Amino acid sequence: MRVLSGIQPSGQLHIGNYFGSMKPNQEFVSKSEQSYYMIVDLHALTTLHNGEALRKARLDAVKDCLAIGFDPEKAVLFAQSDVKEHTELTWILSCVTPMGLLERAVSFKDKIKQGIDASVGLFTYPVLMAADILLYDITHVPVGKDQKQHVEMVRDIAQKFNNTFGKDLLTLPEPVIQEEVAVVPGTDGRKMSKSYGNTIPIFGDEKTIEKAVMGMVTDSAGANDPKDPEKSVIFAIHKLVLSDSDAGKLADEYKSGIPYGDAKKKLFEDLMDYFKPMREKREKLTDKKAKEVLEGGKKKAESVAKSTLERVRVAVGL
């Protein structure tokens, strides 16, 4: 099993990133032949148009990954833009990718609704994602339920390429979704996302985190009225940092009528306890260390990517 996942360097790491992608990816490392984790800075260019900010965000993303426990000796941690084969394979794949396939991408439509400019890069985002995955003969991609279509599109693109240029040239990946953490809700009840502005940062200052938690949406139930934990955004996030038994006890408190203000305070305290070791580790990491990790990851990723691209170039006649 070969696994790949990634994160955009476009803002502070939040608990949706961690529980929806990074933590499950870490769990796959021990099961896989090879695991890759990519800082997708080329993808970030669709929304981040500040060179200095992107350079800083890329290093911050590496430090975030190291702080939450990624081991560069067990998984390849690298920056997408450091491996030039990503962009070349993107162009080759775009020459066989049907326009209709891209036009059906739900994420493109969603991002346009959010006010993101409809650039060519945003439209062809799935082709670059396909290149990211296909370069490393990835077999499994851990994704949120809302991103399953992206992996299905990767499979469609790879199949079209294989049908055109030769059987089994590119490996078709499988999406892996852990249902219980497939979509982490944000403070407003929608999926937690930087673009929605509804995130709870992991490495922000305590006041920022507390403000985000205390501002979470609730229903109109009275302070001491019984509450359904399964319908509460607060509980949905809280149970992610609790054992099953503790989550069960908390659910009983909701049913007994815990005030939402008290529930939020409990959540804030437990979040700070859960992420305390990671926050302390993050403070000690330097830009120098991040650059060293990226350089090592580049060498490992590049050797595999070059081999795949050479296979593709021969097949297409380049």
Which residue is associated with the tokens 């050479």?
310
Amino acid letter for position 286: T
Q: Rounded mean pLDDT of 115-141?
A: 91
My answer on whether 123 and 208 are in the same domain is no
Confidence of residue 179 (pLDDT cuts 50, 70, 90): low
128 within a domain of the structure (yes/no): yes
Residue 311 has pLDDT above 70, yes or no: yes
Asked whether residue 256 falls in the same domain as residue 148, the answer is: no
Q: What percent of the chain has pLDDT over 90?
A: 70
Q: Read out DSSP for 108-169?
A: HHHHHHTT----HHHHTHHHHHHHHHHTTT--EEE--GGGHHHHHHHHHHHHHHHHHH-TTS
- Asked if the structure places residue 18 within a domain, the reply is yes
Mean pLDDT across 273-295: 97
- Cβ contact 54:48 at 8 Å: yes
Buried b (16+ CB within 10 A) or exposed e, 153-163: bbbbbbebbbe
Cα–Cα distance measured from residue 285 to residue 62, given in angstroms and rounded to the nearest whole number: 10
Whether residues 177 and 29 share a domain: the answer is yes
Taking 70 as the threshold, does the pLDDT of residue 153 lie above it? Answer: yes
Residue 315 clears pLDDT 90, i.e. is over it: yes
Tokens 């350089």 map to which residue?
295
Mean pLDDT of the chain: 91
Q: Catalytic annotation on 227?
A: no
SS3 content of the chain, % helix, strand, coil (to 5): 60, 10, 30
Task: Name the pLDDT band for 181 (thresholds 50, 70, 90).
Answer: low
Domain of 100?
2-183+288-316
Residue 199 within any structural domain of the chain: no
pLDDT for the residue numbered 142: 81
Q: CA-based angle 267:6:235, to the nearest 5?
A: 15
The C-alpha atoms of residue 309 and residue 134 are separated, in whole angstroms, by: 10
| Residue 188 included in any domain | no
Q: What is the pLDDT of residue 180?
A: 60
Which residue out of 56, 145, 194, 298 is catalytically annotated? 194
- The burial of 114, by beta-carbon neighbours within 10 Å (0-12 exposed, 13-18 middle, 19 or more buried), is given as exposed
Q: What is the pTM of this model?
A: 0.87
- The residue-averaged pLDDT of 137-145 equals 85
- Whether residue 163 lies inside any domain: the answer is yes
143 and 233 belong to one structural domain: no
Domains contained in the chain, number: 2
Tell me the mean pLDDT in the region 23-50. Answer: 85
Please, which pLDDT band fits residue 21 given cuts at 50, 70 and 90? confident
Which DSSP category does 105 fall into? -
Domain CATH for 135 = 3.40.50.620
Q: Which residue has the higher pLDDT, 191 or 298?
A: 298
Active site residue 194: yes
Q: What is the structure's pLDDT at 195?
A: 78
Which of helix, strand or coil describes residue 185? strand
pLDDT at 193: 87
Closest to 225 (Cα-Cα) out of 249, 251, 260: 260
Q: Look at residue 197 and tell me if it is in a domain.
A: no
The whole-number average pLDDT for the span 140-151 is 81
227/169 same-domain check: no
- The active-site residue, picked from 111, 227, 239, 264, is 111
Q: 3-state DSSP call for residue 7? A: strand
155 and 16 inside one domain: yes
Residue 260's CATH number:
1.10.240.10
Question: Is there a single domain that holds both residue 112 and residue 34?
Answer: yes
Give domain status of residue 193, yes or no. no
Distance from C-alpha of 54 to C-alpha of 121, rounded to nearest angstrom: 17
CA–CA gap between residue 312 and residue 135 (Å, rounded) = 10
Which has the minimum average pLDDT: 169-183, 223-237, 270-284?
Answer: 169-183
Rounded Cα gap, residues 218 and 26, in angstroms: 32
Respond yes or no: is residue 113 known to be catalytic: no
Mean pLDDT of 118-146: 90
pLDDT at 110 (0 to 100) = 76
Residue type, 132: D
In a domain, 196, yes or no: no
The number of beta carbons lying within 10 Å of the beta carbon of residue 174 is 12
Of 21 and 315, more confident: 315
- Same domain? For 113 and 162 the reply is yes
Q: Say whether both 145 and 219 belong to one domain.
A: no
Q: Which residue's structure tokens are 């054992």? A: 243
pLDDT value of position 246: 96
- Say yes or no to pLDDT of 227 above 70: yes
Do both 239 and 302 map to the same domain? no
60 within 8 A of 20, measured Cβ to Cβ? no
Q: Which of 31, 56, 74, 191 is catalytic?
A: 191
The pLDDT confidence band at residue 29, using thresholds 50, 70 and 90, is: low
**HSE (side-chain half, CA atoms, 13 Å) at 100:** 1
Residues 161, 68 share a domain:
yes
Question: 3-class SS at 34?
Answer: strand
Helix (H), strand (E) at residue 141? strand 140-142
Give, in degrees to the nearest 5, the angle at Cα 304 between 169 and 138: 60
Do 235 and 262 fall within a single domain?
Answer: yes
- For 195, the token pair is 């673009």
Give 165's pLDDT tier (boundaries 50, 70, 90). very high
Report the range of poorest mean pLDDT among 77-91, 214-228, 247-261: 214-228
Least confident residue range of 26-35, 169-178, 288-297: 26-35
